[in-house]
Chains A and B, each alone.
Chain A
Amino acid sequence: MNFNLTFIGQMIAFAVFVWFCIKFVWPPLMNAIEERQKTITEGLAAADRAGRDLELAQEKATKTLREARKEAAGIIESANKRGAQIIDEAKESARAEAERIKVAAHAEIDQDVERAREKLRSQVAVLALAGAEKVLESSVDANTHKAMIDKLAANL
């Protein structure tokens, strides 16, 4: 336990080790640690951000889905309405068409009746005259009795 040159030797050794540590040990280790800290912090932040993004996207998707459903419901409703309308219109036009056809048919029938009646009327006179001629054996003057026959025919 004497005080001697060991003291100096230890100082030199210490100086060398301190120099070595300052020069070659501390900077790379500290750089690595700091860089890793940065990477981890960034990673955590990114994960956080991604989580938030996902949440937002889900929210958006839900919203879109809800809107789409609402829209689809609206479309179906309007389609149904339109269909009912078309049916109503069709019914209405069919009824109108039927009415029209019926009226036309009635008119035609009336016309036919009229025509037949006219025809008959025109022939009644001839037939009556022919009949009367046969009865009276040409004693009847056609011109004399023509007015009377016509009056008769008009009453038919």
Chain B
Amino acid sequence: MAAGEYNDAGEYIAHHLVNLTYGRLQEGAERCYGGGVVETTHWTFAGCAAEAEAMGFMAFHVDSLVWAVGLGLITMGLLFTAARKASPVAPGRFQCFIEMIVDFVGNTTKEVFHGRVQPIAPIALTIFTWVFMMNLMKLVPVDLIPYPLELMGVEYQKMAPTTDPNVTLGMAFFVLLMVIYYSIKVKGWGFLKELSFTPFNTWVLIPVNLLLEIIGLLSKPISLGLRLFGNMFAGEVIFLLIAALFGAGLFFLPLAAGLQVLWAIFHILVIVLQAFIFMVLTIVYLSMAHEDH
């Protein structure tokens, strides 16, 4: 499909919701636009949504990963710059700004977790700053960077990594791994006992307890990841709808512009709030892992 040619708004939006996918295309899979079938299994960029789907699990969303890692590097770079310049003398503006965020995260952690903040607070800081940066990409107009890239031959591009469930769930499940790690580290065998004997404290009901507790354990990261993804994805769709409205004719231009501004301003709140919620829930889960029942 040539750049910028869409039959209707639905197609436009659908196109913008496809990630740039690099993956293993299986032998026998249908090619796009009636291009026959794949003869040998090989790794390639997906030409369309159907191909990306055909790749299954063995594929990467290159745009999500590049933006996520890039933004993570920028975030860590900024934090590291501040950390290296950190000194007890009067700080500059940049230093103050970073320290304000760090202090805010530290205080939030202290409010929830009444122990040594050292491992939890930096984790929370990473989450808050990084998720915020990834969410922030949503405020960039939807076609500002993807369109030039499309002209250069990169068919798909989604800038905000948090609109990709792989990214949000990836982070959420890493949080689960940390929860399990700290549970075992703090409680040892007590963790297994906790899984086996709550909520019913008898030998007979161990399987039931295990089932309930494991579902409970898994539901945390799933809800954590899907909450962020849902909010960001829904916001993205609205942005795309407004962007589609821009193309609907001169008459709709002021309306679209007004909506764009309104939604963007509203989203400034949403992106900070979602980053904050992700952080606070992580702190809560990790502090629960540290506490005995």
Contact = CB atoms under 8 A, between A and B. Distances in A.
Given A1-B17, A25-B122, A36-B88, A14 B102 contact: no
A132 interface: no
B122 A26 contact: yes
A7 B170 contact: yes
Interface stretch (A15-23, A57-65, A101-109, A137-145): A15-23
Contacts of A25: 76, 79-80, 82-83, 122, 125
A4 B56 contact: yes
A28 B126 contact: no
Most chain A CB within a 10 A radius of its CB, from B88, B102, B165: B88
Q: How large is the interface on A (under 10, 10 to 19, 20 to 34, 35 or more residues)?
A: 20 to 34
Interface of B: 17-19, 21, 23, 52-53, 55-61, 64-65, 68-69, 72, 75-76, 79-80, 82-84, 86-89, 91, 98-99, 102-103, 106, 118-119, 121-123, 125-126, 130, 161, 164-167, 169-171, 173-174, 177-178
A57 to B, nearest CB: 30
A139 to B, nearest CB: 147
24 contacts: A1-B17, A2-B53, A4-B21, A5-B23, A5-B57, A6-B59, A9-B60, A10-B65, A10-B166, A13-B72, A14-B126, A17-B72, A17-B76, A18-B178, A21-B76, A21-B123, A22-B119, A25-B82, A26-B83, A26-B121, A32-B86, A32-B91, A33-B86, A39-B88
Nearest to B46: A2
A4 B60 contact: yes
B52 A2 contact: yes
A24 B88 CA distance: 17
A20 to B, nearest CB: 6
A22 B174 contact: no
Task: Give the 10 A-B CB pairs with smallest separation, nearest first.
Answer: A10-B170, A32-B86, A6-B166, A26-B122, A35-B88, A6-B61, A21-B126, A4-B59, A22-B122, A28-B83
Given A6-B64, A10-B65, A26-B121, A21 B88 contact: no
How would you classify the secondary structure of chain A's contact residues: helix, strand, loop or mixed?
helix
A34 B137 CA distance: 33
B59 A5 contact: yes
B126 A18 contact: yes
A24 B83 contact: yes
Interface of A: 1-11, 13-15, 17-18, 20-22, 24-26, 28-33, 35-36, 38-39
A131 B98 CA distance: 150
A20 B76 contact: yes
B130 A17 contact: yes
Contacts of A31: 86
A21 B79 contact: yes
Contacts of A15: 174
Contacts of B99: 29, 32-33
A96 B108 CA distance: 103
A29 B174 contact: no
A6 B170 contact: yes
Contact of B23 (A4, A11, A13, A14): A4
Given A10-B161, A10-B170, A26-B122, 20 more contacts: A1-B18, A3-B57, A5-B57, A5-B60, A6-B19, A7-B167, A13-B65, A18-B123, A20-B76, A20-B80, A20-B126, A24-B83, A25-B76, A25-B125, A29-B79, A29-B82, A29-B83, A29-B98, A36-B91, A38-B88
B79 A7 contact: no
B170 A24 contact: no
